[in-house]
Structure formats: structure tokens, C-alpha cells
Structure 1
Amino acid sequence: MPKPRKAQISLDATPYYHCVSRCVRRAFLCGLDDLTGKSYEHRRGWLENKLLSLPAIFAIDIAAYAIMSNHYHVVLYVDAEQAKNWTDYEVAERWHKLFRGSLVSTKFLKHQELTEGEKITLGLQITKWRERLQDISWFMRVLNEAIAREANREDQCSGRFWEGRFKSQALLDEKALLACMAYVDLNPVRAKIARTPEHSDHTSIKKRYQTAVKTQEPNPSKNQVKELLPFTGYPNNEQKKGLPVPLTDYLALVDWTGRIVREDKCGALSNTLPPILDRLSLDQQEWLRLSQSFETSYKTFAGDSDRIKLVGQLLGYQRVRTT
């Protein structure tokens, strides 16, 4: 029996999570239906636009994403500290951008006077909404429901569009995080629908490439894609929030990996390896294995075996798979 989502997520262990959501049966998220000849490519834009708009509301940032024909991948960063620092007014305002809220919260946002009972009710609502706005299940729910409604409206049908549960993997260390991001960013290359990462439509890597080539200094976070979690450098960087390597190192790593994955290459490994591999203590074969088969290499938790065992104990698992 699948574990409940709360038993798979521990922000004390890691703020990073890899999520995958798939369509049911023959439902098409995007791509061309060979049976009917109908193209659903425009739905990639629906999903990408909605996905990139949600971090402005949730205390959740996007580290990587790739939108495929019948599923999509996203690597999320939960910023619990941001949610903690929101005022009650900010929480209510953000929630109302997603849902109607309540009569009490509507009065509150209009700066109307509340009774003592209404203040108590509002306090309970704000506590609940603050938790939901940093919850990846609510993030995925809002995203998937919006796309399902739009797709069902276009298909003139009703019923389930997505599988009942999205898959999530906790990324427990830097090695797992970067391998997972590369795995996500290279999905179109592995699927042979793009020749290079920078030509992979509707992916985070393409957006990062496009922005990077427009500036002479791509590493500063102010010069990176605004909708995505920035690369801020190595862990001792004074800026706390951000991915722990320079953007240029990551782009070089993904570019090198993508060239090896391409079908028209013989598979021989280049002697010129990105230096980031040394810092991750990964040899080239191990890196390629993880970046090409991340989902099968790990299950619920991804990272060093000792770290996985520790988190399993924290969450009450009797047994936990480490590889």
C-alpha cells in the first residue's frame, strides 16, 4: 500500500522534491496523437505558464521542469522560512488568488472591522492556508486541476485526466539534487524529441540557456530566469536561498551529459569532464547512470545511503530502499 504523502515529506530532511504527474489511459497532455492525427502541442504552453506562475503565490520555487507528451517532471524547493515570515494579510491575499476564501477573509482583505469571533475564525483559516501554501501536494493539486479542467473542456468530456497520485522523491543531498535536475532537463534528449538541451522546448534548461546567452555574467542571480530558483554558487555562499553550484558549471555539466546521451554519438566519454563531477565525488559512469535513469535508481528517497536510512527512521519506516 502506498505511503501517505505526509510520510514521504520531511522539511527537516530536505526542502527539495522531484515530482512526476502522468495522464491516465490514452489522455494526451501534449504531443501528436498518432491514432487521430490531432495535435495537443499547445497544452505544453498551458502547463508551462501555469507552473511558472505558482511560485509567485506559493512558498515553493521551481528548480527544474520538463513537459513531455503524457507526463511532466518538476523539481521543487519548499521555502518554509518565506511562508513563516508572511503577514496574515499576505497569506489571505495569496490564498484569494487561488480560491474564493471566506466571508471573514474577504472582510479582512477589505480592511473591514471584524468581531472577536471572526478574528478567531480568521486566525484558524490563516494557519491552515499558510501550511497549504508551502505544501507540495497543494501546489500539484492547483496545477493539475487547472490543466485537467482546461483539457476536459477542450475535449468536451469529463472524468479523470491525471493519475490519482503524483510521484514524489525527496532529494536528500547535493548529488541527488543535481543528478535529478539533469535527469529532468535531459528528458527530451533521452526521448529523442530534441537534439540538444538548449533546443528542448518547454524545459527549464532551455529557459536558463536563453537567458544566460543574453548576458556576459550569467552567474549572478539577478541575471538569471526570474521564475526559476537561481543558482547562487557553492554552499558557503552568503546568499542562503539558491542552488548550490554556479549556473555555468551546471550548464556545462548538462551540455556534456546531453552530448553523451544523443543517439548520433558513439558513446565514448570525453576526456574533458566538467570539474563539478569531481566535487560531487562521482565518476563519469556513475553520473551518466543517475542522470539517465534517476527514477529507477531511487524510489521515495534519493541520496547517500546513510542519509536515506536516517530519514527513513525519522519518518517511521521499518525498511527503506537505499538504491
Structure 2
Amino acid sequence: MTAARATKIDLSATPYYHCMTRCVRRTFLCGIDSQSGQDYSHRKAWIVGRIKQLTEVFAIRICAYAVMSNHYHLVLWVNDNDANQWTDEEVFLRWQQLFPNDANQVEVLGYSKLEIKQKIALWRQRLASISWFMRCLNETIARLSNKEEAVTGRFWEGRFKSQALLDEGALLAAMAYVDLNPIRAKVVNTPEQAEFTSIYERIQMVAKQLKKKTITTTSSFNLASFVKQANSLKQPLSLMPFANEKANNKTPYIDFKLADYFQLIDETGRILRDGKRGAIPDNLAPILDRLQLSANGWMNMVLDLEKNFFHAVGNSIILVDFGSQHRERKPKGYHAAKKCYL
């Protein structure tokens, strides 16, 4: 039986969520269709573009994303406090960008002050909703794609899947799981080759500032050494930033240095590519210690995050607590968490 969305998304438990949507019948509707030979790869740019448009409207930021041939992943951060601080006029203007007809009805139909206040409250709630974010993303892409092919019908499978990320380990593992999706699928060999991913966008931003027109993809290439200055450089505005040495860090950020994350992704990507499941270098130990993850535990999460966990990801204690609040005595992932976390 499908679980209600309310049992999956609980902002009082965590503002971080991993979401995934797959094309109907798992066909390559965003890549090269194996049966027809038609190339639909340009739709990946549609998805990335729409994601960035929506982050400017919703109280939601992107921590990581990856657009594949038949599905995409997002790691989202919901800032409902930000939405609550918007003025009524700002809420109206934001909603108008998404649904102009609905917003303009307020004036056309002559709503009373009470009715307008109720509408604004409803829109404010929706602008901090992952469900509405995903709806606005998926419906737009489906309509564009169906129009391009002159067909009707479903483009995506049923509802999007989501996982609550309950601690730092879960967040970083989910981000790595998403950023390394093309490597795990053997589409590319290295993160810097993985277009339509957040790690690719972060690397290109750093490369541009360091005036590196080309990035080598040899086995000796190391992201961490490439970006020794990364912690003081500008980061993509469309993505949730990592802690910056020069910034005052008053705005929300991921509490890790960008260079450390690059190193984590680089080393983990090499292990995935070489098939050495638990061969984590010693220099990554401090990062994994902070995340309270063992070397094998980290690789298990990055390899099988969706398989080993269901509604939520985190250490066994907070996983049980999250489950008990949503009528699950021992959530799926409990035993995996016991093995992954120190």
C-alpha cells in the first residue's frame, strides 16, 4: 500500500529530502530511445532550467541534482521560515509567476479581504511544499515533451519518491549518491565529465574562476588538489552553498567546505569506478568520522541509498524516532543504519 505523503515529508523532523522521479515505462524519454533511435537528450537541459526557475520562486534550495536518461534525482532543502517572512504582496507575485490565472482571479472576481488573506496563506504554504515544487517541475516537462512528440498521456511514472535525510551523514551520502549517479550507471568515468549534475556545475564554476579552460580527466587528476582555493571562491547561485572562508556564512549553507566535498566525491568516484567497495583512503577518515560513518558504511550508502533505506535515511536512533512519529515501529533501513553508522 502506498504511504501518504505526510508520512514521508515532515519539516519538523528535517528540512532535507532526496527526491526521485522516473519516466513512464522506464523508457529513455530524456536520452536516446533504444527502440526508435530518437535523441531526446536536450530535455535534460529543460529539466535543469526548470529546476532553477522554480528555486527562484519557491522557498526551496537545491543541494544536489542529477538528470539521467530516464529519471532524475534532487536533494532539496526547504526553508519554510523564509516563506513565513515574505510579505503578502511577495507571496502573490511569486504565485503569479506559477499560476497567473489563479492569482489574477483575486482581482477579477473581487475577493473579500478575508478570502484574499486565506488565499495568500494557502499559497504561502504551497510555496514551501516539496509536493508543489515537484508538481510544477514535472507537469511542465511532461507538457513540453508531449507537445514535441504530438502525443498525449503520462510522461512520468506515479508520484515522485522521497526520503527524509535526518542527519549530516544522510545528507552528504544522498548528495554523493546523486552526484555520482552517472559514474554508478557507467555513463561517465569521472565527476567532471558528468553533465547535468550539480557536481559538474560546481566544478565548472570553480574552473571558470581559476581560468581553467579545460579540465584533464586522466586517472591522476584529483579534484581536491585542483580546488585548493575553492573554499574562498564563488559558488553557483542556483545551488545551496558550502561553507565559505570569506563569506560571513549568515545565509544558510551546507556545513562542510567545498574542497572537502570535492575530495570526498573524487575518492568515492574512483572506488565506484574501480570496484573497490571499501577502499577509503586514510585522508578521508576525518570527514567520515564527523559523519559517524564507517568506510564500508559510506560506500554502502552511496551505492544503495534507495535500496537500503525507504522513507528516511539516518542513524538507527533517529530513524526509529522518525518512524515512531509516523506509525512505523522500526522503519526499513534500520538494520542498514546499524551497519553503516559507527
Query: 272-281 or 138-147: which moved more?
Result: 272-281
Extract unaligned runs of 5+ from structure 1.
108-113
Partners of 1:320 and 1:268 in 2: CA distance? 26
CA distance in structure 1 between the partners assigned to 2:316 and 2:160 by the alignment: 24
| Partner Cα separation in structure 2 for residue 286 and residue 102 of structure 1 | 48
Please give the per-residue CA displacement for 1:125-181, whole angstroms capped at 9, x wherever unaligned. 000000000000000000000000011111111011111111000000000100010
What's 1:37 paired with?
37
CA distance in structure 1 between the aligned counterparts of 2:276 and 2:314, rounded to whole angstroms: 30
Cα distance, 1:215 vs structure 2: 3.7
Give the C-alpha shift of residue 190 in structure 1.
Answer: 0.7
Aligned partner of 2:186 in structure 1 is 192
Q: Which runs of 5+ in 2 are unaligned?
A: 211-228, 337-342
Say which is worse superposed, 121-130 or 275-284, in terms of deviation.
275-284
**Matches of 2:280 and 2:316, distance apart in 1:** 29
Q: 1:230 is matched with which residue: 241, 244, 247? A: 241
What CA deviation, in whole Å up to 9, does each residue of 1:47-100 have, x standing for no partner? 111111111000000000000111000000000111010000000000000002
After TM superposition, give the deviation of residue 8 of structure 1 in Å: 1.3
- Which of 95-104 and 150-159 deviates more? 95-104
Is the Cα contact below 8 Å between 2:268 and 2:280 reproduced in 1? no
- With normalisation by structure 2, the TM-score equals 0.86
Deviation at residue 182 of structure 1 after TM alignment: 0.2
Give the counterpart of 2:230 among 218, 224, 228.
218
SS in 1 for 2:241: coil
Match of 2:126 in 1: 132
Structure 1 position 269 matched with structure 2 position 263? no
CA contact (8 A) 1:197 1:205 kept: yes
TM-score, scaled to structure 1? 0.90
Alignment match of 1:148 (pick from 142, 146, 154): 142
| Residues 10, 315 of structure 1: 8 Å contact kept | no
Equivalents in 1 of 2:123, 2:58: separation in Å? 10
Q: Distance in 2 between matches of 1:238 and 1:155?
A: 46
CA deviation vs aligned residue, 1:100-145 (integer Å, no higher than 9, x gap): 22445457xxxxxx97x62111101000000000000000000000
Look up the SS of the partner of 1:244 in the other structure: strand
Name the aligned partner's letter for residue 230 of structure 2: P
Work out whether residues 232 and 239 of structure 1, in 8 Å CA contact, stay in contact via their aligned partners in 2: no
Q: Deviations over 1:2-26 (max 9, x none)?
A: 1110121111110000000011115
Whose helix fraction is larger, Structure 1's or Structure 2's?
2
In structure 2, the residue corresponding to 1:239 is in which secondary structure? coil
Check the 8 A contact 2:21/2:156 in 1, yes or no: yes
Provide the rounded CA distance (Å) in 1 between the counterparts of 2:159 and 2:294: 35
Q: How many residues align?
A: 312
CA–CA distance in structure 1, aligned partners of residues 71 and 310 of structure 2: 18
TM superposition shift of 1:289: 1.3
- One of 254, 257, 280 as aligned partner of 1:243: 254
Distance 1:64 1:266 in 2: 25
What's the counterpart of residue 113 of structure 2?
A: 119
Matches within 5 A, 1:63-212: 63-100=63-100, 101-103=102-104, 105-106=106-107, 118-212=112-206
Are residue 6 (structure 1) and residue 6 (structure 2) matched?
A: yes
Q: Tell me how far apart the structure 2 counterparts of residues 213 and 73 of structure 1 sit (CA, whole Å).
A: 24
Mapped partners of 1:39, 1:238: distance in 2 = 43
Aligned Cα root-mean-square deviation (Å): 2.1
Deviations 1:200-259 (A, max 9, x none): 010000001111233464224x7101000111269xx96361111111110110011001
Judged with a 3 Å threshold, the aligned counterparts in structure 2 of structure 1 residues 183 and 85 are, in CA distance, closer, same or farther, namely: same
Q: 2:301–2:308: 8 Å Cα contact kept in structure 1?
A: yes
State yes or no: 1:57 paired with 2:57: yes
Give secondary structure in 2 for the equivalent of 1:149.
helix
CA distance in 2, matches of 1:271, 1:56: 39
Instruction: Give 2:291's aligned residue.
Output: 280
Cα distance in 1 between the residues matched to 2:243 and 2:278: 32
Structure 2 Cα separation of the partners of residues 218 and 63 of structure 1: 17
The range that moved more, 162-171 or 2-11, is 2-11
- Find the aligned partners of 1:72 and 1:267 in 2 and give their Cα distance: 24
Letter in 1 for 2:22: R
The 3-state SS of whatever aligns with 1:245 is strand
| Counterpart secondary structure, 1:241 | coil
Of 291, 297, 300, the match for 2:302: 291
Any conservation in 1 of the 2:182–2:188 contact (CA below 8 Å)? yes
Judge conservation of contact 1:233–1:244 (CA < 8 Å) in 2: no
